[in-house]
C-alpha cells in the first residue's frame, strides 16, 4: 500500500485506489486566516504520531508553493489531549491533519477545535489545487462536501476545494497479468463484504485509465480487467492455460528427446565395453605370460568400470556378464597352457 505524497516505487504498478485522504487546515471559527500565506509568523498544530513527519512535509510543500519558508511557520506536534490547551492559549493558529472523509485524523482535529473554542470550526480552502497538483503530482485536487467531518453544525458548512493524498494498492511490475487481474477482481468484488468490517472499504475504486500521466501507471492486467470485466479475466485465463499446454507439450518432447539421447549414448558405451572384453579373449589365445598379466589387469579395469556404472543406476545389458566370463576363461586357459609348456 503506497501513499501518493511519498516517493513512488520504481517497479510498482497500480492495482486499486483504496481511499483518498483529505488535506485539511482546520481553523477556529473567528480566525482571521483566509489564505495559506497568512500563516506566516504563526504556529500550526500537527497531531503527534507515526505519520507526523509525513504530514509536516505536506504542510511545508504547500507553504513552499505560496512562497512561505517552512521556518516562518511553527510546527507543534501535539497529542489530541494537548490540542485544546494550545488553541485556547493561542499557541496554535490552526490544526493541520490528513485523513479520510469520516472517522479519522481530520474529524479528531475538528472536534478538538470545537471543544477549545466552543464554536463551529472551518476549513481553509485550497483553491489552487489544480496548479498544486501539476507541480506536486502526489497531491490531487478534491472537493470536500458539506458536513464531511461534522454533521451538526456541519463542517465544512459549504463545499470546499482542497487536496488529497491517495492510498494505492500496488503490485510489482513483474506480476503476471492474470495474477494482477485476479487480485483486482477479488478486491472490487469483496468491497461490499469489507464494508462490514471497515467503512473505509466503501472508498475502494478502480484506477482512472484516462489519466495520461499517472503518478503510478495501472498494471496492464488490471487495465484489461477494468475494460472488459470478467470476460477479459476468463479469456486471459484461457490464454495462459493454452500457453501452459504448449509449454508442457514442448517440455514433454524435450524430455523424450533427452531420454532417447541418453539411451543411445549408454547403448554405445555398452557395445564398446563388450567389444573390449571380446578383444581381450581373442588376444589371450596367442599371449605369453607377460601379455596375460597385462590382459588380466585390463580385464580387472573393465570389470570395475561395469560395476561403477551399475552402482550409479545404469542398467547393464545381459551380454556383459557372459563377455566377462568369456574373457576370464580365455586368460585362464591360455595361462594353464603356457605353464604346462614351460
Q: What is the 3-state secondary structure (H, E, C) of 146-186?
A: CCCCECCCCECCCCEEEEEEEEEEEEECCCCHHHHHHHHHH
- Is 150:113 a contact under the CB 8 Å cutoff? no
The predicted structure's pLDDT at residue 280:
83
Q: Please list, in sequence order, all residues whose beta carbon lies within 8 angstroms of the beta carbon of residue 278, skipping any fewer than 6 positions away.
A: 323, 326, 327
pLDDT confidence tier of residue 259, bands split at 50, 70 and 90:
low
Measure the CA–CA gap between 56 and 23, rounded to whole angstroms: 11
What are the boundaries of each domain within the chain?
2-218, 254-341
For the chain, the C-alpha Rg in angstroms (whole number) is 41
What residue ranges in the chain does DSSP mark as E strands?
2-3, 12-27, 43-47, 74-78, 94-99, 122-123, 140-144, 160-172
pLDDT confidence tier of residue 245, bands split at 50, 70 and 90:
low
pLDDT confidence tier of residue 96, bands split at 50, 70 and 90:
very high
The predicted structure's pLDDT at residue 248:
66
pLDDT confidence tier of residue 241, bands split at 50, 70 and 90:
low
Cis preceding-peptide flag for 153 (omega within 30 of 0):
yes
The residue that leads in pLDDT, 264 or 296, is 296
Tally of CB atoms within 10 A around 216: 19
In the predicted model, is pLDDT for residue 134 greater than 80?
yes
pLDDT confidence tier of residue 59, bands split at 50, 70 and 90:
very high
Strand partners, 25: 96
The predicted structure's pLDDT at residue 133:
92
Mean pLDDT score of the chain: 83
Measure the CA–CA gap between 40 and 308, rounded to whole angstroms: 88
SS3 304: helix
Measure the CA–CA gap between 185 and 304, rounded to whole angstroms: 64
The predicted structure's pLDDT at residue 124:
93
The predicted structure's pLDDT at residue 81:
81
pLDDT confidence tier of residue 57, bands split at 50, 70 and 90:
very high
pLDDT confidence tier of residue 204, bands split at 50, 70 and 90:
confident
Question: CATH number of 2-218: 3.30.930.10, 3.30.70.890, 1.10.10.60, 3.40.190.10?
Answer: 3.40.190.10
18-34 per-position pLDDT tens digit: 889 999 999 999 899 99
The mean per-residue pLDDT over the stretch 41-60 comes to 92
267-284 per-position pLDDT tens digit: 667 777 778 888 888 888
Measure the CA–CA gap between 291 and 191, rounded to whole angstroms: 89
User: What is the maximum alpha-carbon separation in the chain?
Assistant: 134
In the predicted model, is pLDDT for residue 315 greater than 60?
no
In the predicted model, is pLDDT for residue 237 greater than 60?
no
Measure the CA–CA gap between 288 and 280, rounded to whole angstroms: 13
The predicted structure's pLDDT at residue 25:
94
pTM of the predicted model as reported, rounded to 2 decimal places: 0.64
Amino acid at each position: 500500500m503506497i501513499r501518493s505524497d511519498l516517493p513512488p516505487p520504481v517497479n510498482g504498478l497500480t492495482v486499486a485506489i483504496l481511499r483518498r485522504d483529505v488535506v485539511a487546515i482546520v481553523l477556529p471559527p473567528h480566525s482571521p486566516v483566509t489564505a495559506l500565506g497568512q500563516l506566516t509568523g504563526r504556529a500550526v498544530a500537527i497531531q503527534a504520531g507515526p505519520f507526523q513527519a509525513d504530514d509536516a512535509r505536506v504542510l511545508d510543500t504547500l507553504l513552499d508553493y505560496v512562497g512561505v519558508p517552512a521556518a516562518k511557520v511553527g510546527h507543534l506536534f501535539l497529542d489530541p489531549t494537548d490540542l485544546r490547551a494550545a488553541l485556547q492559549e493561542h499557541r496554535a493558529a490552526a490544526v493541520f491533519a490528513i485523513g479520510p472523509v469520516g472517522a479519522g485524523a481530520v474529524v479528531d482535529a475538528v472536534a478538538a477545535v470545537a471543544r477549545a473554542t466552543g464554536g463551529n470550526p472551518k476549513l481553509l480552502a485550497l483553491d489552487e489545487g489544480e496548479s498544486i497538483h501539476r507541480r506536486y503530482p502526489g497531491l490531487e485536487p478534491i472537493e470536500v462536501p458539506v458536513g464531511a467531518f461534522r454533521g451538526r453544525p456541519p463542517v465544512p458548512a459549504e463545499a470546499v476545494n482542497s487536496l488529497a493524498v491517495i492510498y494505492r494498492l500496488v503490485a510489482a511490475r513483474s506480476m503476471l497479468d492474470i495474477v494482477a487481474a485476479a487480485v483486482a477482481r477479488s478486491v472490487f468484488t469483496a468491497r461490499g463484504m469489507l464494508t462490514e468490517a471497515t467503512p473505509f472499504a466503501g472508498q475502494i475504486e478502480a484506477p482512472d485509465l484516462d489519466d495520461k500521466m499517472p503518478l503510478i501507471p495501472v498494471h496492464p492486467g488490471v487495465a484489461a480487467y477494468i475494460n472488459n470485466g470478467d470476460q477479459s479475466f476468463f479469456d486471459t485465463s484461457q490464454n495462459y492455460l493454452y500457453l501452459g499446454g504448449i509449454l508442457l507439450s514442448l517440455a514433454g518432447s524435450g524430455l523424450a528427446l533427452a531420454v532417447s539421447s541418453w539411451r543411445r549414448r549408454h547403448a554405445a558405451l555398452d557395445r564398446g565395453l563388450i567389444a573390449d572384453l571380446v578383444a581381450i579373449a581373442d588376444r589371450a589365445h596367442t599371449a605369453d605370460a607377460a601379455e596375460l598379466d597385462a590382459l588380466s589387469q585390463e580385464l580387472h579395469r573393465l570389470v570395475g568400470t561395469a560395476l561403477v556404472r551399475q552402482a550409479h543406476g545404469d542398467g547393464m545389458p545381459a551380454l556383459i556378464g557372459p563377455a566377462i566370463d568369456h574373457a576370464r576363461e580365455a586368460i585362464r586357459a591360455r595361462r594353464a597352457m603356457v605353464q604346462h609348456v614351460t
